Amino acid sequence: MVKIKNYLSLVKFSHTIFAMPFALIGFFLGILRVSFSNVPGWHTMILPPDFKQEAIIKFILVIICMITARSAAMAFNRYLDRSFDEKNPRTAIREIPKGIISPNSALRFVILSCLLFLVSCFFINNICFYLSPVALFVILFYSYTKRFTALCHLVLGIGLSLAPIGAYLAVTGVFAILPILFSFAVVFWVSGFDIIYALQDIDFDQSQKLYSIPSAMGKVKALRVSELLHIFSAACVIAAGFYGNFHWIYWIGVAVFVGMLIYQHSIVKPDDLSKVNIAFMTANGIASVVFAVFVIADLFFGL
């Protein structure tokens, strides 16, 4: 019998740590946007009682949306790539190749996750519901991109970048510059570390005619592209700091975020990929969580 832990492993639930913190940033930016018409004075926010109850409900719905959207995307990727995963020694231990979860069960899980995502968006507000099919298209379409473009990493980045702007829309129902800046930071950040992760499969991708920056450009140039993307990501969080008139607490978060970007590039070398997983999971997990903690702390307590 397939257990819940097998599905959690199928979708790499622990990787939720990447996008979820940025969704929380978008959500709390939205909370404060509803309370104030401009940025200064956010730390003095006082919410009316009825809005607090509505905010709690929307918070729960945003979390559900994040989990179900990401679960749908990951499970669909595993379903679609099952034939490649069987051939790749690194991925042959995944649930579908090993027969722990059948392809049809994985597909049913994808459909269920998509439906739960759509229903959650329906109860948030009209704009989130109307845009929900677009979001699903982006995150599911990513699974096809490695078959025809080396820019697949950017598509993944775009998919995860929907988190902050989506959470902001859930609260406010309108677009704004600040959450969009955070979304761009996510695009470049995720694209950059996905290139690092893809270094592990460069030989396999080339043998199967699969596209990626490493398979198209080689290890050395791929790492240079990743570094450039991470410079853009750092520029976005810095720009957001100035645009949003953030305080000193925010800049501590920026220092940690940028420091983790630098760290992962210092430990991954073209001739030594032994620390790719540390760079991918540990460094980026710390970067996202710590950054979000300091951003949210600045919003409510910055002076």
Residue pLDDT, tens place only, 115-139 = 999 999 999 999 999 999 999 999 9
User: Average pLDDT for residues 89-106, to the nearest whole number?
Assistant: 93
**Rounded to 5 degrees, what angle do the CA atoms 157, 162, 165 make?**
135
Which residues are CB-contacts of 258 (< 8 A; sequence separation ≥ 6)?
234, 237
49: Cα separation from own chain's centroid = 32
Torsions phi, psi of 245, nearest 5?
50, 45
Residue 36 has pLDDT above 90, yes or no: no
Selected from 3.40.50.880, 3.40.47.10, 1.10.357.140, 1.25.40.10, the CATH number assigned to the domain covering 4-301 reads 1.10.357.140
Residue 40 has pLDDT above 50, yes or no: no
Provide the percentage of residues in the chain whose pLDDT is more than 70: 93
User: Is 254 in a helix, a strand, or coil?
Assistant: helix
User: Is 272 in a helix, a strand, or coil?
Assistant: strand
pLDDT tens by residue, 160-215: 999 999 999 999 999 999 999 999 999 999 999 999 999 999 999 999 999 999 99
On whether the CB atoms of residues 233 and 188 are closer than 8 A, the answer is: yes
The DSSP H or E segment spanning 133 is: helix 126-145
What interhelical angle do 152-172 and 177-198 show, nearest 10? 150
Q: Compute the distance between CA of residue 221 and CA of residue 78 in angstroms, rounded to an integer.
A: 28
Q: pLDDT value at position 300?
A: 86
Comparing C-alpha atoms, which of 247, 233, 260, 230 is closest to residue 296?
A: 247
pLDDT tens by residue, 241-254: 999 999 999 999 99
Q: Compute the distance between CA of residue 62 and CA of residue 30 in angstroms, rounded to an integer.
A: 12
Residue 45 has pLDDT above 70, yes or no: no
Q: pLDDT value at position 303?
A: 55
**Rounded to 5 degrees, what angle do the CA atoms 263, 268, 270 make?**
145
Residue 149 has pLDDT above 70, yes or no: yes
Q: pLDDT value at position 3?
A: 77
Neighbours of 39 (CB within 10 A): 15
Comparing C-alpha atoms, which of 154, 269, 262, 261 is closest to residue 220?
A: 269
Provide the percentage of residues in the chain whose pLDDT is more than 90: 82
DSSP 279: I
DSSP class per residue in 7-75: HHHHTTGGGGGTTHHHHHHHHHHHHHHHH-SSSTTGGG----HHHHHHHHHHHHHHHHHHHHHHHHHHH
Mean pLDDT rounded to a whole number for the chain = 91
Domain regions of the chain by residue span: 4-301
